[in-house]
Amino acid sequence: MGHSKGRRTALKNIALATSGASLGLSALSCNNEKKEQAQENLGEEQTALKGNINHAACYWCYGDMPLDNFAQGAAELGLKGIDLLRPEEWEVAENHGLKCSVATDTFANIENGFNDPANHADLQAQYAKLIDKAAAKGIKNVIVFSGNRRDLSDEEGIANCAEGLQPLVKQAEENDVVLIMELLNSKVDHKDYQCDHTAWGAQLCERIGSDNFKLLYDIYHMQIMEGDVIHTIRDYNQYIAHYHTGGVPGRNEINASQELNYPAIMKAILETGYDGYVAQEFIPTYEDKLAALQEGVRICDV
């Protein structure tokens, strides 16, 4: 997920702006070296996507673009889904042949999550409605958060999360929905967030003991917290239901300007038998944001 302030604002109210941003897809309109860099990565000849990965993107990274325009552009690029849409936004994606690949709503809160029993009653009531709505639309994934640690031990956080999530996991099982808790870094973007290591998330999955509760492995965040991304994916893939991308450092494009080898990571993901979505969640710096998205998708299309 994105910058702490920007992501929190997006989760509380992912605003539909009315910017008149140009959505030209036929030419890469990045300036100077960025344009040249995009062209170098994409190549002059554009071929069809390979079809091995279900590509998606997080709309909040393109929030100055109307959702309808973004969805049209994403569909033309070959994407299959859009992450982190609220119920009132799902139909916009569907109108362009896209699924909401991860459902959220304004109550979903990174800092105040399931590790605090004081939040359980309200979160359970709100998420029960969201699960029903997602199930009715055939949306598979619903995002949840641990909340900030606030001096809780690892074991206390796991126990509290398991207790608060248990009735919702049962509802998810009955409705073929998967609750996914996102792994976020507590070093740069989300200070004090508790679900900040893959092993902690895996322990919570074991405690809950259901295929309808898994993890959202954000490659950007886990590179910052623990590195060893490919090894971690191989060791913990049975607990992972969704992936996010992002360039490290900076959370921008995933090209050669940053340190992660995304083609190798994507190959490792496919080798686990994964058939879900991989969602681009970097903040574009190119003037033409859809050119940046296209570049990211191509890099990951192994």
Dihedral of alpha carbons 250, 252, 257, 261, sign: positive
Residue 55 lies in a domain: yes
Domain containing residue 138: CATH number: 3.20.20.150
Question: Which residue bears the tokens 């969805």?
Answer: 71
**Residue 288 to residue 238: CA distance in whole angstroms:** 37
Residue identified by tokens 């702490």 is 4
> Considering the domain boundaries, does residue 96 fall inside one?
yes
- Specify if 120 maps to a domain: yes
Q: Is there a domain that residue 21 lies in?
A: no
CB under 8 Å to 295, separation ≥6 — which residues? 38, 41, 42, 253, 255
Q: Answer yes or no: is 8 within a domain.
A: yes
pLDDT string in tens for the chain (302-residue length): 444 445 554 444 433 333 333 333 333 344 445 545 554 544 434 579 999 999 999 999 998 999 999 999 999 999 999 999 999 999 999 999 999 999 999 999 999 999 999 999 999 999 999 999 999 999 999 999 999 999 999 999 999 999 999 999 999 999 999 999 999 999 999 999 999 999 999 999 999 999 999 999 999 999 999 999 999 999 999 999 999 999 999 999 999 999 999 999 999 999 999 999 999 999 999 999 999 999 999 999 99
Among 152, 160, 105, CA closest to 128? 105
Domains identified in the chain, total number: 1
Instruction: Name residues whose C-beta falls within 8 Å of residue 148's C-beta, 6 or more positions apart in sequence.
Output: 110, 111, 112, 113, 115, 191, 192, 193, 194
Question: Is residue 25, in this structure, part of any structural domain at all?
Answer: no
Domain that holds residue 251: 4-15+34-300
CA angle 34, 38, 41 (to 5 degrees): 140
Token output for 161: 């999360």
